[in-house]
Structure 1
Amino acid sequence: MSRIHFAAIEGFEAIDAVFADFLERLSGRPLAAELAAAAALVSRAVREGHSCCRLELWAGQQLGEGENRLTLPGLDGWLAVLRRPEFRPLVAEPTAPLMLDEAGRLYLRRYYDCEKRIAGEILRKLDRSVPPPELPAGALAGLLPYFAAAADRLWVDHQQLAVYTAMSNSFSIISGGPGTGKTTVVAALLALELERNPELAVALAAPTGKAQARLAESLASGVGRLNVSDTVKSRLLSLPSSTLHRLLGIDPRGNCRHDRRNPLPWDLVVVDECSMVPLLMMGKLLDALRPECRLVLLGDKDQLASVEAGAVLSDLCDAAELNALRPDAAEAFRRQTGWRVASADARPLSGAVAELTENHRFATAVHIGEFSRAIKELRPEDAPQLAGRIARCDAPDFLTRDIPTGEIEARLKELLRIPVYNEFAMNDLRRLAESGEETNIEHAFGILNSFRLLGAMRSGKRGVEALNAAMMKLLGHHGLHSPGVPLLVTRNDPRTELYNGDIGLVVADPSAPGAVRVRFPNRARSFIPAELPEHKAVYAMTVHKSQGSGFRSVLFVLPDEPGPLLTRELLYTAVTRAEERVELWGSEEVITAALQNRTVRQSGLADRLRES
């Protein structure tokens, strides 16, 4: 094998070649081509969101062309080279920058260590026995009107099963799509736990400020339906919630105030939107929990994986039997509800993962519910048929149009006049914000939370940058800090306590004519624009950025051509951001390509948990 220039090969970037060169300098001698190729590939894998590189997927393939061409060796020969004694300082020793595991997965060392640490911490929590709760007869059914109504059903109510799952484990997962009742489960779980132990120290968290605010709001809105004492309701309404960055005390350099040496003080931590949590962040969270602290993860395993490397929630769910309980917990659940559930199999996570499948949100938005379920459960051979149904849909809650790129601005102009919040339309944002009056600002935030433009990518003629520019032009804004412009924070800033994903609105400052402030929901403090961390306009946002948010109506502008970023998970996530109405602008060809393109992230986490 000869040395090649990886940066010149499609799919690789300069950083991949730089990493291979770094290993060569570290070794002090020319690097074997097999190792150089492996190094460049694992660097590329992490950039693409994988935790590791499965060498078997590349063995025997050709990279590059012409003189800059490399044919990779077969797997056995490749592994044999990487395991040579002279390469141990680079690939095997505890301080080596790479790690090759027994399954032929190659890791950057920090990702290997983190993956092993996550698996170990979860297994240790699962080993801490939590006796199944012996609740008073009818306690679950009497907690909520919905639970009472479900009590006579012959089939198991998965919301009540999820409550019992979380109460029966030191580590548990509750997965479900929007509208399946995850926050109802959390409210019921926390109410029962606080009734049993009023001194229980509980914290709520989420990856972004928007997701954290939605969790707190959803919990607060559900408290009134609970049949519990006013004392418990008061405790529920006063529970602290924060972003994971704030919870862990992460500084601008990535260091955590809370870790193994200085763990968090909580007895129970609940984290929402965990599909967004990357591998390294999950490792930091588990490092910061005391051994006796219980952890409940919420999320949708079928949503987009995190932007950074890892697919932790999906991996954890793949390692378990869903909606089963340990035999002792299954029997206690039967005594409480009359329902029989499967006894968990031998895998460690089985008995700790509940999946909510019944949707309570899309009772009127039937096509949103139907298509989101169909996308999630799709068999590959059925993709063209489903794409045709989506492309031809013209219903009150779901409309698809094949809008050419050249017509987008004109169509957006029509859209601006349609009311999205009572009598107000997007055209009214500027007028409401210019008034500076509190009531009008509340209406403006209502508009922002009612409707959102989504794009698959940042750049390109149909990307969010172009969509935002079109909206700024159509609404007559001449600068980023004009009244009525919504702003998205794109960098964490502990100084202002503004974090990546927070959304604010530029409003007139009533105390200083001609001046503006930036307001954020549920914050007493406003900011002058110069105080903000990095930010940009957010009439439109990527589907990735929309995770953790929900809107009454969504318009998703698809690319005009298929591409690697347009996946089934992206389409599912976009559709499920809407509560009442979805509009897609895209061709049947592009929709078909998205449905046929699944996100599969390379990882060893599920295997480590299954094989333990």
Structure 2
Amino acid sequence: MTAAPARLLEPFADAGVLAPADVHVARTLGRLGGEPDERVLLAAALATRAVRLGSVCIELPDMRAVAVDGDDAVDVDALPWPSDAEVLAALRRSPLVIGSTAGPLRPLHLVDDRLLYLDRYFRQEATVREILDRRAGPAPAVDATALAIGLARFFPDTGPDRQRIAAAVAVTSMTSVIAGGPGTGKTHTVARILALLFAQHGPRLRVGLAAPTGRAAAQLQDAVAAQSEVLGLPHAIPAQTIHRMLGFRPGNRSRFRHDATDHLPYDVVIVDETSMVSLTIMCRLLEALRPDARLILVGDPNQLASVDAGAVLADLVSRTVMHRPNPVLDGVLAAEPDPGPRLGDTSPPTERPLDDAELTAARGGVVELLRGRRFSGVLGELADAVRAGDADTVIALARDGGAIEWCGSDELDGVRRD
């Protein structure tokens, strides 16, 4: 095995791959942990860089897949990359990974000889996974008759309806995820979920509404308030930022008032714009939840990424779904209308039925809303096709004319100038 260059990080910093902070963190870890191997320090710097760019770990076989923003002249492949085998061997024996007699410091975590984490984010990810798995236990007690009546009242569509299914999942599960793009009716669904939950538990139900930012919290509060009279909600429900809900305490070692030893007082916690929630904040929120409190996460996994590391909502939507028996939900899913032709009704259903993968996800607490409700007619069909990535339908709708027209490059340039 060849020896690593004496100063391996500097060429990567000079090329703009590593920021000064990445180099500083790596060299500090090396000094504190007694690790002189530059290959380990390069991996540590790249893991730090990944966190800075929103990821919680790096994949060692792909660590060369980096880009330098705004500088196409940098040849990343020409940098003095050590081989994958050299980096892996160095990490396997590194005191930063396995510890040493000098002390307990182990700031790097190697998983399956493939993923490298800063240990803090590995532990947070493990905590989130553990709590979610624990919350996937027995389904909460639900009055099936009251739920059926409420679903029929608040979601009267006669065809397949993912909003109705999302509401049923939220009421019958301890943890649920309602995903969907703009205009798919996520907040509309949330307000009706609240009405269903108050019908189940009465006006004393304690509800916490939260969002990552003050603006998002205000929008959630206003949207729910606008529907409260029609839905018969017993009282106004304020919304707040997640930090405020947890009781952020700057300068305090524990950072938040509510944690694993001092739980939040709510029976139901609903978080909007969850795509913006970082791994760290999601970990703190899950720790602060009472074990018997429902958690409803809402957002669009394809937009508004977290400023900090982690893409929790996207991971929850795409993760392998584990679920426990939920007879009430199974009854709701079985009662969903047959999307086939109905006597005297020749109109097509407004939504296609859920496929097997969606049904499995729903039983695991995840429903993705697909039908655009902000636009109707051709524009609505176009929005749905764009959201689904259906290029053929987009082109067909554009060629049919009507409300959609092709725009040439000259016309587009004119629009840009205007």
TM range (shorter): 0.7 to 0.9
User: 1:16 touches 1:41 (CA, 8 Å); kept in 2?
Assistant: yes
> Partner of 1:10: helix, strand, or coil?
coil
Between the aligned partners of 1:119 and 1:250, the Cα distance in structure 2 is 23
| Structural mapping, 1:175-214, within 5 Å | 175-198=179-202, 199-214=204-219
Pair 73,202 (structure 1): closer, same or farther in 2 beyond 3 Å:
same
Between the aligned partners of 1:307 and 1:321, the Cα distance in structure 2 is 26
Aligned counterpart, 1:26: 32
Q: Which of 327, 352, 357 is the aligned partner of 2:365?
A: 352
Q: Which of 205, 226, 230 is the aligned partner of 1:225?
A: 230
Pair 333,95 (structure 1): closer, same or farther in 2 beyond 3 Å:
farther
Pair 234,137 (structure 1): closer, same or farther in 2 beyond 3 Å:
closer
Q: Which of 377, 397, 406 is the aligned partner of 2:388?
A: 377
Pair 90,14 (structure 1): closer, same or farther in 2 beyond 3 Å:
farther
User: 1:330 touches 1:341 (CA, 8 Å); kept in 2?
Assistant: no
Higher fraction of strand: 1
| AA of the residue aligned to 1:354 | V
Give, in angstroms, the shift of residue 19 of structure 1: 1.4
Between the aligned partners of 2:66 and 2:273, the Cα distance in structure 1 is 38
Q: Which of 88, 91, 94 is the aligned partner of 1:79?
A: 88
Between the aligned partners of 1:341 and 1:131, the Cα distance in structure 2 is 25
**Structure 2 unmatched runs, 5+:** 69-73, 339-352
Q: Which of 149, 153, 164 is the aligned partner of 1:143?
A: 153
Between the aligned partners of 2:172 and 2:13, the Cα distance in structure 1 is 51
Between the aligned partners of 1:61 and 1:184, the Cα distance in structure 2 is 41
Between the aligned partners of 1:362 and 1:329, the Cα distance in structure 2 is 33
- 1:491-546 Cα offsets, whole Å, 9 max, x none, are xxxxxxxxxxxxxxxxxxxxxxxxxxxxxxxxxxxxxxxxxxxxxxxxxxxxxxxx
Q: Which range moved further: 255-264 or 342-351?
A: 342-351
Aligned counterpart, 2:123: 113
Give, in angstroms, the shift of residue 135 of structure 1: 2.3
Between the aligned partners of 1:132 and 1:326, the Cα distance in structure 2 is 13
Q: Which of 47, 59, 68 is the aligned partner of 1:54?
A: 59
| Structural mapping, 1:495-534, within 5 Å | none
Aligned counterpart, 2:283: 283
> Partner of 1:242: helix, strand, or coil?
strand
Give, in angstroms, the shift of residue 371 of structure 1: 5.7
> Partner of 2:295: helix, strand, or coil?
strand
Between the aligned partners of 2:306 and 2:246, the Cα distance in structure 1 is 19
Give, in angstroms, the shift of residue 304 of structure 1: 3.4
Aligned counterpart, 1:402: 413
Higher fraction of helix: 2
> Partner of 1:174: helix, strand, or coil?
strand
> Partner of 1:218: helix, strand, or coil?
helix
- 1:392-433 Cα offsets, whole Å, 9 max, x none, are x9969x99843699x6xxx5xxxxxxxxxxxxxxxxxxxxxx
Aligned counterpart, 1:35: 40
Give, in angstroms, the shift of residue 317 of structure 1: 0.3
Give, in angstroms, the shift of residue 331 of structure 1: 3.3
Aligned counterpart, 2:80: 70
Aligned counterpart, 2:293: 293
Aligned counterpart, 1:10: 16
| AA of the residue aligned to 1:119 | R
Give, in angstroms, the shift of residue 215 of structure 1: 0.8
| Count of paired positions | 380
Between the aligned partners of 1:119 and 1:285, the Cα distance in structure 2 is 13
| Structural mapping, 1:186-335, within 5 Å | 186-198=190-202, 199-226=204-231, 228=232, 233-235=233-235, 238-253=236-251, 255-320=255-320, 328-334=327-333
Pair 331,402 (structure 1): closer, same or farther in 2 beyond 3 Å:
same
Aligned counterpart, 1:593: none
Give, in angstroms, the shift of residue 359 of structure 1: 1.3
| AA of the residue aligned to 1:43 | T
> Partner of 1:99: helix, strand, or coil?
strand
- 1:60-79 Cα offsets, whole Å, 9 max, x none, are 9999879x9412212x4422
Q: Does 1:174 align with 2:214?
A: no
Pair 53,371 (structure 1): closer, same or farther in 2 beyond 3 Å:
farther
Between the aligned partners of 1:15 and 1:136, the Cα distance in structure 2 is 57
Pair 245,334 (structure 1): closer, same or farther in 2 beyond 3 Å:
closer
- 1:280-319 Cα offsets, whole Å, 9 max, x none, are 1111111111111110000012223212211110010001
- 1:527-575 Cα offsets, whole Å, 9 max, x none, are xxxxxxxxxxxxxxxxxxxxxxxxxxxxxxxxxxxxxxxxxxxxxxxxx
> Partner of 2:13: helix, strand, or coil?
helix
Pair 175,36 (structure 1): closer, same or farther in 2 beyond 3 Å:
same
User: 2:249 touches 2:256 (CA, 8 Å); kept in 1?
Assistant: yes
Between the aligned partners of 1:285 and 1:114, the Cα distance in structure 2 is 11
User: 1:126 touches 1:348 (CA, 8 Å); kept in 2?
Assistant: no
Aligned counterpart, 2:350: none
Pair 333,94 (structure 1): closer, same or farther in 2 beyond 3 Å:
farther
Q: Does 1:129 align with 2:139?
A: yes
Between the aligned partners of 2:165 and 2:270, the Cα distance in structure 1 is 17
Give, in angstroms, the shift of residue 372 of structure 1: 4.8
Between the aligned partners of 1:106 and 1:271, the Cα distance in structure 2 is 30
TM-score between both structures, scaled by the size of structure 2: 0.79
Between the aligned partners of 2:318 and 2:93, the Cα distance in structure 1 is 34
Higher RCO, 1 or 2 (CA under 8 Å, sep at least 6)?
2
Please tell me the root mean square deviation across aligned C-alpha atoms, in Å: 3.8
Give, in angstroms, the shift of residue 325 of structure 1: 9.4
Q: Which of 376, 401, 414 is the aligned partner of 1:363?
A: 376
User: 2:169 touches 2:176 (CA, 8 Å); kept in 1?
Assistant: yes
Between the aligned partners of 2:242 and 2:57, the Cα distance in structure 1 is 24
Between the aligned partners of 1:334 and 1:376, the Cα distance in structure 2 is 24
> Partner of 1:355: helix, strand, or coil?
strand
| AA of the residue aligned to 1:167 | V
> Partner of 2:50: helix, strand, or coil?
helix
**Structure 1 unmatched runs, 5+:** 412-612
